[in-house]
Amino acid sequence: MCEVLYISESELFDGDSTDLRELGLDSVRFVLLMKKLDVTRGSDLQKRLVADLSIAGWTQLLELGQPEGVT
C-alpha cells in the first residue's frame, strides 16, 4: 500500500487505524491497489474494503480473502 500511495510506513501516524484517505487514497489509487492486491472489480471483498478504509480493516479483510469463484 505504501508503494501505491507514495508514502513511507512512518506516515502511518495512527498505526493500523490510520484512515487511508488521509494518506492520499483517491479513486485512481484505489483502483491501482485493487489491481495490485488482485481484488476483483465489483466483488463483495472490494465492497467491504470500501466500507472500512483503515490499514487494520484492510488487513483483516484481506486475511479472510475472497472466496473462490466470487467476482
Q: What is the pTM of this model?
A: 0.71
Phi, psi of 19 (to 5 degrees): -80, 125
CA pair distance 61, 15, nearest whole angstrom:
17
Mean pLDDT of 10-30: 81
pLDDT at 13: 67
Please write the tens of the pLDDT for every residue from 37-47.
Answer: 899 999 999 99
Ranges 34-38, 48-52, 62-66: which has the least confidence: 62-66
Domain boundaries defined on the chain? 15-64
